[in-house]
Structure formats: C-alpha cells, structure tokens
C-alpha cells in the first residue's frame, strides 16, 4: 500500500482542490491511486470542487464528507480541503457505495441497502473493514447501522463518521465520486489482506446513581424512572426546563447521558439535542427502553487521556504491523470542549504514532465504531463525544 | 412412645421457632443495611448533584476567562498592528479571519458614515461574499437612522441586549446571516464615525457581556487609530505645504542673490574698467606735473609751482583711491590672488609699527602690541594682512588725538581661530555708523572727518580682504571712548 496526502486552505476553492490533489499525487509518486478520501470544511462543499477532483483523479473512486474542521499532520484547520490517495496492493479488494434520501421512517432498510451495495462483488472475498460517512443531522443513525450490520455481520468491524457543518446544524454533505449530496450515506468495504487497528474512547465518567429508561422510542427518551426524562437534568443541575433549553448545547457537551451496555467496558454516550414540551429528551442516537443510564461528567484532562487510550488501543489492535496512515474521527463536542487544547490532542496522537505519521481526520456529529474493539468481536455502535482512531497497517 | 413423639414435635417446633426468630432478626438486619445503603446512595447522589452544579459553574467561569484572555491577547496584537499603521484605509485591513476567530466570531463588517454622500460605506468584510456584503450595506443605508442613533448615543447592540428603538434581534440575525452578534460604534474625535459588526453562525456560541466589552474595546481602538491617522495626514499635508512654501521662498531668494551677485559683478566690472580708464590719464597728468616741477621746461613763478605741487599731491591721492577701488573690485570678483600661508604674526605687527613709527611720534601716541604664544601663527596673505594693519592702524592714528594710545593684540578663540584687535583711544564711532563704515565711500559725518582727508574706501577694502580670508570683521566703540576693530583669521599650523 502506498499513500499520498495533500492539504490546502486557499480561499479559491478550485485552486485549493487543485493544490491538495497535486500534493497527494506527488506524494504517491508514479503510482495510480486506487481510491481517494476527500474531507473539506463546509464552504468547500461545492459540486464544482468534487467535479474538479474527479477530473483530476480521472475517475478514481472518491469518498468523503464535510466537517467543521480538518485534522492533518500540519495542524487543525477551520478552513480547507484535505485529500488522501491510496494505492492498494492487488491482494486488497474494495467496493464503494452510496445511498441517498435516507428514509427517516425506515433506517433499517437504508442500512440493509447500503450493506447489499457494498457486498456486491465481494461475497466470496474475506471481508476486513467498512468505513462509512453519513449525514450527521439524521436521527436514525443507529437504525442504519443496525441494517448495515444485518448484511455485513453483527460483529463486523465498522468505523464511520457522521458528517458535520460549521456547528450551525443546518446541512452536512457527503461526497461520492463527483457527487455532493445530503441526507445520504456513502461507504467503502475493504476485503483481502487489509490490516488495521481501531481505538475509540470518550473520557467521560458516570456520576450519580443509575437510572432506568422506563419509556422511550428510538432516539426519544420519554420517561426516566417513571418521571419525565427532563427531570433528571432539572434535578442534577438545579435548573428549570426553560433554563436547560437555553443552555442545552453546553449541557449536551459537558453532561451527556451514558447508556450502560452489558458486557462492554465503557458507557455509550448520547448527546441531548432537544427537549420536547412533554419533558422528553431527544438524543442523537437511540436509547432503548429499559436501558440503564447515568449522567456523565468529564474534564479536559480526562478527554485528553481518552485520546491517549484510543491511540494505544488502535496500536494494540494493529499488532506488529507498521502504521501506514491514520484516520481520525473526533467529536465536534470535543472540538468545542477542548477549545485551545485541541492542539494537545493532535500532539498526543502524533506522540503515540510518530511525529511524521500521515494523518487525516475530521470533526464529526457522531462516530461509529466497535465499543469494545480488543478483538473486533465487539459490536459497532453509534457514539457521541468520542475520538475514534483508525490505524491502517503497511500491508 | 406417644410422649416421646410429643416431645420430639415440641423440640422441632422450638427449633423452627428459634430458627424463624434468628432469620427474622437477620432479615431485619439486612433490611436495615439496605436502608442504610439506599440512604448512602441517595446522599451520594445528592453530592453528585452538587458536584455537577459546581462543575457547570466552574466550566462557565473557566470558559469566560479563557475567552477573555484570548480576546485580550488578540486585541493587544491587533492594537500593536494598527498602531503601526498611519493610513486610514489600511487600518481595517489589519483585522483578519484569525483575529476574528480568536475573538470568537467568523463574520465581521465595518462601516463609516460619509457625510458628503450621506451614506455608510463598507470598510471591512470578513466571512461574506461581495453580493452578501453589498446587500447588507444597501439595507443598512435604508435603515441608516437606527445605526446613526446607535453611534450618536454610543450604544452597543448585541444578541443579548438590544437598545430601545433599535432594530430587532431577529431582523439583524436575518440581515447579517448570523445567530449571535455584537454591533459597536467606532467613535472618533473628528471626521467620519461608524460601527463594527461581529457575528457568528455557530449556535453553540452565546454572547456574554465580556464579549461586548471586548468588541467595544476594539471599536475604541479603531476610533483612536483613525484619529491618529487623520491627525498624521493633516500634519503631513501641512508639512508638505510648508515645504512647498520654503522651496518657493528659497528659489526666490536664490534668484535675488543671483541677481545681486550679477549687479555686484557689473559694479565691480564697471569700477574696474573705470579705474583703469582713469589711471592712464592720471599717470599722464602726474607725469607732466612732475616734469614741469623739475623746471626742465623753464623756470616757473612760485604761484604756478605751488599749484603744480597741489596737482601732483591730488593726483597721488586719486591714484591711491583708484588703486583701492581696483583692489576692492578684484577681491569682490575673486580675481585677487590671495596666497594664504602660515605667518608669524608678531613680525608683521612689528613691521607695521616701524612703518608708522614716525606718525606715532608726530602725534605723541604710544603704541604697544601683545601677541601671546598661542596666537603666534596665522594663515594669511602677507601683503594683504599688512594692508589690513596699515589701514586699521592708519585710521587709528588719524582719529586719535595727541598723547593717545594704540594697541594691537591677539587672542585664541578656539583651535582654529585667532581674533586680532586694533584699539585706540580716539574719538570713537557713533553706534548708528558702526555697520556702515565698512561700506564703500562711507565716511562718518563729523568734524574730524571734515579735517582729516580720506577716500572712504580703506575699511571697505579691509572688510573685503578679511572676508576673502574667510574671516569676520567688526567694531566696538562708544563716542569719546575710542574704538576697537576686531577681525578673525585662521590659526596657522
């Protein structure tokens, strides 16, 4: 496997895509790119940018999405375009797919459809990993993942990112070949000799006693311990619903809900995105009825410690393989929480894998990864507030 | 047997009773423990609530503090960069996307009110396309009175505080395409005033009073820098005008000097040619008078001889005068050949004293000279310096009554210059004539001058000689108290 990376923050979008792709092509040497990952900040989410990229790469499959910020080896950027070109060995197979118009009422079917498309032509090949990018504003991510897992296998390694915008929560974009779309999900399935290690951590700790979700449906928690769900936050933060609503985003970032999962080491975090008039809490991912939940708390230090732990886990899972490149999906909440200390998080990643490790990453509205990724037997879930690190080995 | 059975049953019942009692006791104990644990859990849960509330307040405070520190750092940096600018147009260009992001915003616009055009003009646009900023400018100009009111009342509008009578928060958000904003006046001492707008689309950003204070500081900084730039421009323009005036005046003066020099040259040329023309017939007159006086052409009566002697004497005076005029014109035109050399001053003075010894004796005038060791050598043309001394000392003799005193002294002014004074105890020179006596043909109007003959060229010649040596000459005198003529020469090596 060989790779080439490029980045540009030029204000001229076409110039920027040209610059970034040229750098990546130069990095790849004389080799032909098998596929490309393109990540941009929202202002670059322009069909012309993708068309230019597609022309420059002469039809090489492209996958990617928009984000509020880009993580590269050179730093964290709030404006720009980052490109990763991969030249895969002949022993590695891959297939890319896109599903559009994600149906909010039937996310399971959407997931199944994506799974089928990804499996097309790969049925008799040893399947290794799937990477997906989906609209970060959809409330049915968990359903899509479930559908996908029905086709790919419940414990099949799956890592993904929910695309973000510039924290306006208006529209996110997914890139597939020469197409820019929203409310869609695109992905790649790798098969054959493809080595990788995944690490995911959030750094939040439970506080207070365990509570029970007594009534919920999908991503809406109606009652906790037979009381309107909002009462949980009212009690803990000593604020009424109106005050909570005003500070919802801060509360969502600092004090998410932790869902206890039997057999897993960590709580699964859920951001609160809204409070309904009846006191129900709307979360970014689904919370099943009878779930045991707790309020979670964190500090910047524990967030940074989680980054270290995620890197160590990814390294451990990669085994003896030398890391070829890293792909990082970091929560937009962590972007806000860490603020000036974002650079520290990047330094931690570089310290773990080496100062000059090729690195590409984005800030996301949700992360998909196995909760317990020690031996890939752990099931993939939809996460919030987490940092997931994918270390791809030199095949 | 029956009693044995009964006894056994009693024993069993007693055992069961005791066991039940013990179990009951244990259950009671466990229930107490569970109650205690539940109590602890509740207490811990209450503590957890306390921790969470404190944590939230701490986070808020920390966030606000970090924001303020970052904002102040940015303002300091901006202030430094702005202060280095003295061009009004460049002041707003100093604000860039990074500064704005460090202040917590991604969009900014600045407008200045242009009184002649009666409209707000855009000076800064960050985060907007040209179409967007043009549209916003147009709407602002339609609603200009609201913004002018804000400026005149020095009020800040923000998404947390809208001053009474100002446009609603929602309308501003809609117009500027943001979710949170601050609008702050840019006030100046004079000239155009305006306002700066900063905003963000980030729904997570909530504006605080601290943010408003920071942007107000930025507005003040811009205002002050604008004042400085305008003051500088004003000063610069005045200076330019002054320079032009000085240049013009210098040109006029140079022209006048050239004109004067031209006139002076004409005068010198005229004097020179006239003097030459006069000298030839004078020489003939003097020659014929001398021949007649010898008596070779026949004896003459005493009356004729007396007249001829007068002609001879007056011719001599005229020749002397013509020579002086020629010298003056030569020196003025730079044609005189000055051979500056290092001279011993004392021998020159002594020679003059010898030359004039007879005249000192005739009028019983005492003469003394004082040339200290540090003034021994001067740089001058020997013959011209002698003429200076002869003229000055000769004048002194003329105007000093009998039994008077004349002295020549020297003193060192600095490493390069020596001052020589020729003093007498004569009648002195009136104050108003002290400047004019160095002019050609000027003679002080007094009884002595009416008795003592002179051409009025001696001091003019002296002045020209001294100036040709790059020295200065002046006189200090009071009527009845004598006079001191002083001049400077370069010190010899």
- State the pLDDT at residue A116: 92
Contact A58, A67 (CB under 8 A): no
Superfamily (CATH H level) for B83-237: GAF domain (3.30.450.40)
- Angle (CA) B151 B155 B161, round 5°: 135
Q: How many whole angstroms separate alpha carbon A136 and alpha carbon A391?
A: 23
Do B56 and A255 lie within an 8 Å CB cutoff?
yes
- Give me the DSSP letters along A258-276: EEE-TT-SSPEEE-EEEE-
Residue where a domain terminates, one of A297, A320, A335? A297
Contact B164, B155 (CB under 8 A): no
Residue where a domain terminates, one of A251, A267, A297? A297
Q: What are B133's two structure tokens?
A: 């900023």
* Minimum Cα–Cα distance from A79: chain B residue: B97
Q: What are B182's two structure tokens?
A: 């601050």
Percent of chain B at pLDDT exceeding 90: 38
Spell out which residues of chain B touch residue A297, defining contact as CB-CB under 8 Å. 51-52, 55
Give the nearest partner residue to A208 out of B49, B56, B101, using CB atoms.
B49
- Give me the DSSP letters along B203-220: TT----HHHHHHHHHHHH
Quick one: pLDDT band at residue B331, thresholds 50, 70, 90? confident
Among B207-211, B221-225, B316-320, the range scoring the smallest mean pLDDT is B316-320
Do A168 and B202 lie within an 8 Å CB cutoff?
yes
Q: Decide which of A90 and B144 is more confident.
A: B144
Give the nearest partner residue to A254 out of B59, B66, B101, using CB atoms.
B59
* Closest approach of B77 to chain A, Cα-based (Å): 18
> Do the strands A323-331 and A70-72 form a parallel or antiparallel pair, or are they unpaired?
unpaired
A243 and A167, same structural domain?
no
A211 and A125, same structural domain?
no
Q: At what angle do helices B382-399 and B458-468 cross, to 10 degrees?
A: 150
Q: What are A17's two structure tokens?
A: 């895509």
Q: How many whole angstroms separate alpha carbon A314 and alpha carbon A326?
A: 10
Task: Give the residue numbers in B contacting A (CB under 8 Å), as ranges.
Answer: 41-42, 44-45, 48-49, 51-53, 55-56, 59-60, 63, 66, 70, 97, 101, 106, 179, 201-204
B356-368 mean pLDDT: 90
- State the pLDDT at residue B449: 67
Contact B366, B396 (CB under 8 A): no
Quick one: pLDDT band at residue B453, thresholds 50, 70, 90? low
Q: How many whole angstroms separate alpha carbon A365 and alpha carbon A169?
A: 9
A17 and A54, same structural domain?
yes
Does residue A65 surpass a pLDDT of 80? yes
> Do the strands B180-186 and B194-200 form a parallel or antiparallel pair, or are they unpaired?
antiparallel
Do B48 and A236 lie within an 8 Å CB cutoff?
yes
Do A250 and B201 lie within an 8 Å CB cutoff?
no
Residue where a domain terminates, one of A297, A328, A353? A297
Do A236 and B52 lie within an 8 Å CB cutoff?
yes
State which CATH number among 3.40.50.620, 3.40.50.300, 3.40.50.10490, 3.30.565.10 fits the domain covering B341-491.
Answer: 3.30.565.10
A214-220 mean pLDDT: 91
- State the pLDDT at residue B310: 83
Q: DSSP character for B374?
A: G
* Closest approach of B247 to chain A, Cα-based (Å): 49
Among B5-19, B30-44, B294-308, the range scoring the smallest mean pLDDT is B294-308
pLDDT tens digits along A335-381: 988 888 899 999 999 999 999 899 999 999 999 988 764 443 567 88
Percent of chain B at pLDDT exceeding 70: 97
A134-160 mean pLDDT: 88
Give the nearest partner residue to B201 out of A166, A207, A250, using CB atoms.
A166
Quick one: pLDDT band at residue A83, thresholds 50, 70, 90? very high
Computed over every residue of chain B, the mean pLDDT equals 87
Length of chain B as a residue count: 493
* Minimum Cα–Cα distance from A211: chain B residue: B45
Does residue A94 surpass a pLDDT of 70? yes
A181 and A42, same structural domain?
yes
Q: Is B107 left (phi over 0), alpha (psi -120 to 50) or beta?
A: beta
Q: What are B36's two structure tokens?
A: 């205690």
A314 and A287, same structural domain?
no
Spell out which residues of chain B touch residue A339, defining contact as CB-CB under 8 Å. 63, 66
Q: What are B306's two structure tokens?
A: 């007396």
Q: How many whole angstroms separate alpha carbon A46 and alpha carbon B397?
A: 109
Is this prediction's pTM over 0.80? no
- State the pLDDT at residue B424: 93
Q: Helix, strand, or coil here: B397?
A: helix
- State the pLDDT at residue A111: 92
A293 and A327, same structural domain?
no
Which helix (H) or strand (E) segment holds residue B288: the answer is: helix B209-294
Length of chain A as a residue count: 395
Does residue A219 surpass a pLDDT of 90? no
Does residue A274 surpass a pLDDT of 70? yes
- Domain carrying residue A236: 205-297
Do B41 and A295 lie within an 8 Å CB cutoff?
no
Percent of chain A at pLDDT exceeding 70: 97
Which helix (H) or strand (E) segment holds residue B182: the answer is: strand B180-186
Does residue A113 surpass a pLDDT of 90? yes
Q: Decide which of B220 and B443 is more confident.
A: B220
Spell out which residues of chain B touch residue A249, defining contact as CB-CB under 8 Å. 203-204
Q: What are B32's two structure tokens?
A: 């107490």
Q: What residues does A224 pair with on adjacent strands?
A: A213, A227
A and B: number of Cβ contacts within 8 A? 61
Q: DSSP character for B116?
A: T
A209 and A196, same structural domain?
no
A143 and A6, same structural domain?
yes
Q: What are B421's two structure tokens?
A: 């004074």
Instruction: Find all residues with CB under 8 Å of B133, minimum gap 6, and list them.
Output: B109, B122, B125
* Minimum Cα–Cα distance from A68: chain B residue: B202
Q: What is the CA radius of gyration of chain B?
A: 55
Residue with tokens 């923000």: B158
Q: DSSP character for B372?
A: -
A121 and A138, same structural domain?
yes
Among A258-267, B163-172, B381-390, the range scoring the smallest mean pLDDT is A258-267
CB contact burial B300-327 (16+ within 10 A = b; e otherwise): eeeeeeeebeebbeebeebbebbebbbb
A8 and A154, same structural domain?
yes
pLDDT tens digits along B75-91: 898 888 888 887 877 88
Q: Helix, strand, or coil here: A252?
A: helix
A155 and A169, same structural domain?
yes
Judged on CB neighbours under 10 Å (0-12, 13-18, 19+), B259 is exposed
- State the pLDDT at residue B431: 86
Q: How many whole angstroms separate alpha carbon A243 and alpha carbon A250?
A: 12
Interface TM-score (ipTM) > 0.90: no
Does residue B486 surpass a pLDDT of 90? yes
Q: Helix, strand, or coil here: B422?
A: strand
Residue with tokens 């549209």: B135
Residue with tokens 């869902």: A259
Please tell me the total count of domains within chain A. 2
Are domains B83-237 and B341-491 of this chain identical in fold? Answer: no
Does residue B366 surpass a pLDDT of 60? yes
Mutate to test the interface with B, among A233, A236, A302 (most CBs of B within 10 A): A236
- State the pLDDT at residue A378: 67
A194 and A209, same structural domain?
no
Q: How many whole angstroms separate alpha carbon A282 and alpha carbon A102?
A: 19
Q: How many whole angstroms separate alpha carbon B233 and alpha carbon B457?
A: 57
SS (H, E, C) B52-84: HHHHHHHHHHHHHHHHHHHHHHHHHHHHHHHHC
Q: Report CA A128 to chain centroid distance, whole Å.
A: 18
What are the residue boundaries of the structural domains of chain B, listed by start? Answer: 83-237, 341-491
Spell out which residues of chain A touch residue B49, defining contact as CB-CB under 8 Å. 208, 235-238
Instruction: Find all residues with CB under 8 Å of A166, minimum gap 6, and list them.
Output: A41, A42, A68, B106, B201, B202
Spell out which residues of chain A touch residue B55, defining contact as CB-CB under 8 Å. 254, 297
Contact B180, B205 (CB under 8 A): yes
Does residue A394 surpass a pLDDT of 50? yes
Instruction: Find all residues with CB under 8 Å of A234, minimum gap 6, and list them.
Output: A240, A241, A244
Spell out which residues of chain B touch residue A255, defining contact as CB-CB under 8 Å. 52, 56
Alpha-carbon distances, residue A273 vs A143, A221, B44, B296 (angstroms): 18, 12, 28, 145
Spell out which residues of chain B touch residue A235, defining contact as CB-CB under 8 Å. 49
CB contact burial B25-53 (16+ within 10 A = b; e otherwise): eeeeeeeeeeeeeeeeeeeebeebbeebe
Number of helical H runs and strand E runs in chain A? 10, 26
* Closest approach of B96 to chain A, Cα-based (Å): 13
Among A225-234, A322-331, B445-454, the range scoring the smallest mean pLDDT is B445-454
């Amino acid at each position: 496997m060989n790779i080439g990376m490029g980045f540009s923050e030029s204000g001229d979008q076409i110039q920027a895509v040209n610059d970034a792709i040229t750098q990546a092509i130069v990095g790849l040497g004389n080799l032909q790119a098998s596929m490309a990952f393109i990540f941009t900040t929202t202002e670059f989410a322009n069909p012309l940018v993708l068309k230019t990229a597609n022309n420059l790469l002469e039809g090489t499959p492209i996958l990617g999405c928009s984000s509020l910020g880009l993580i590269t080896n050179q730093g964290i950027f709030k404006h720009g375009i980052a490109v990763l070109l991969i030249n895969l060995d002949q022993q590695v197979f891959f297939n890319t797919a896109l599903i559009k118009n994600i149906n909010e009422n039937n996310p399971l079917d959407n997931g199944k459809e994506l799974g089928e498309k990804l499996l097309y032509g790969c049925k008799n090949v040893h399947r290794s990993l799937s990477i997906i990018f989906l609209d970060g504003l959809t409330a049915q991510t968990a359903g899509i993942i479930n559908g996908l897992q029905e086709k790919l296998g419940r414990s099949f390694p799956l890592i993904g990112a929910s695309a973000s915008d510039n924290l306006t929560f208006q529209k996110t974009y997914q890139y597939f070949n020469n197409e820019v779309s929203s409310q869609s999900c695109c992905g790649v399935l790798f098969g054959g000799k493809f080595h990788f290690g995944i690490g995911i951590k959030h750094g939040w700790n439970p506080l207070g006693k365990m509570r029970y979700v007594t009534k919920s449906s999908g991503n809406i928690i109606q009652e906790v311990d037979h009381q309107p769900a909002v009462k949980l936050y009212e009690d803990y933060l000593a604020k009424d619903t109106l005050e909570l609503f005003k500070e919802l985003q801060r509360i969502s970032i600092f004090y998410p809900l932790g869902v206890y999962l039997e057999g897993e080491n960590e709580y699964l975090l859920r951001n609160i995105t809204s409070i309904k008039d009846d006191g129900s809490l709307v979360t970014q991912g689904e919370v099943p009825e009878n779930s045991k939940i707790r309020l979670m708390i964190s500090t910047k230090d524990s967030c940074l410690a989680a980054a270290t732990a995620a890197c160590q886990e990814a390294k451990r899972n990669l085994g003896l393989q030398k890391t070829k490149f890293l792909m990082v999906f970091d929560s937009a909440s962590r972007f806000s929480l860490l603020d000036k200390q974002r650079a520290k998080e990047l330094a931690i990643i570089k310290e773990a894998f080496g100062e000059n490790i090729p690195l590409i990453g984005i800030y996301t509205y949700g992360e998909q990864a196995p909760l317990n990724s020690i031996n890939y037997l752990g099931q993939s879930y939809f996460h919030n507030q987490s940092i997931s690190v994918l270390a791809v080995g030199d095949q | 047997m029956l009693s044995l059975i009964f006894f056994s049953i009693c024993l069993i019942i007693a055992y069961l009773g005791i066991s039940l009692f013990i179990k009951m006791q244990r259950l009671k104990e466990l229930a107490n423990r569970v109650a205690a644990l539940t109590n602890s859990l509740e207490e811990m849960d209450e503590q957890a609530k306390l921790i969470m509330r404190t944590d939230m307040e701490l986070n808020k405070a920390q966030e606000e503090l970090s924001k303020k520190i970052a904002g102040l750092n940015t303002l300091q940096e901006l202030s430094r960069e702005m202060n280095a600018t003295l061009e009004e147009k460049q002041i707003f260009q100093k604000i860039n996307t990074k500064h704005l992001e460090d202040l917590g915003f991604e969009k900014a616009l600045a407008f200045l009110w242009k009184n002649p055009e009666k409209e707000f003009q855009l000076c800064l646009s960050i985060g907007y396309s040209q179409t967007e900023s043009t549209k916003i400018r147009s709407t602002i100009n339609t609603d200009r009175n609201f913004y002018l009111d804000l400026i005149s009342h020095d009020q800040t509008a923000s998404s947390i505080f809208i001053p009474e009578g100002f446009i609603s928060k929602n309308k501003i958000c809609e117009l500027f395409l943001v979710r949170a904003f601050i609008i702050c006046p840019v006030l100046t001492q004079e000239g155009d005033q305006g306002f700066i707008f900063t905003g963000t689309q980030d729904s997570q950003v909530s504006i605080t009073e601290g943010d408003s204070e920071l942007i107000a500081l930025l507005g003040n900084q811009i205002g002050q820098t604008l004042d400085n730039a305008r003051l500088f421009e004003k000063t610069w323009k005045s200076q330019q005008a002054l320079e032009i005036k000085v240049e013009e005046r210098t040109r006029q003066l140079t022209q006048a000097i050239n004109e004067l020099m031209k006139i002076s040259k004409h005068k010198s040329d005229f004097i020179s040619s006239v003097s030459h023309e006069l000298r030839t017939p004078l020489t003939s007159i003097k020659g014929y008078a001398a021949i007649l006086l010898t008596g070779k052409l026949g004896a003459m009566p005493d009356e004729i001889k007396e007249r001829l002697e007068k002609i001879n004497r007056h011719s001599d005076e005229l020749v002397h005068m013509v020579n002086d005029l020629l010298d003056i014109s030569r020196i003025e035109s730079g044609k005189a050949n000055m051979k500056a050399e290092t001279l011993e001053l004392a021998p020159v003075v002594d020679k003059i004293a010898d030359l004039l010894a007879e005249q000192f004796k005739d009028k019983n005038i005492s003469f003394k000279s004082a040339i200290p060791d540090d003034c021994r050598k001067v740089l001058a043309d020997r013959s011209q310096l002698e003429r200076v001394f002869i003229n000055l000392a000769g004048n002194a003799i003329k105007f000093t009554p009998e039994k008077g005193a004349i002295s020549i002294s020297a003193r060192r002014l600095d490493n390069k210059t020596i001052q020589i004074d020729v003093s007498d105890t004569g009648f002195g020179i009136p104050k108003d004539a002290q400047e004019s006596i160095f002019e050609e043909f000027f003679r002080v109007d007094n009884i002595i001058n009416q008795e003592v003959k002179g051409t009025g060229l001696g001091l003019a010649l002296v002045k020209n000689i001294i100036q040709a040596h790059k020295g200065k000459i002046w006189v200090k005198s009071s009527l009845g108290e004598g006079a001191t003529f002083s001049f400077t020469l370069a010190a010899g090596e």
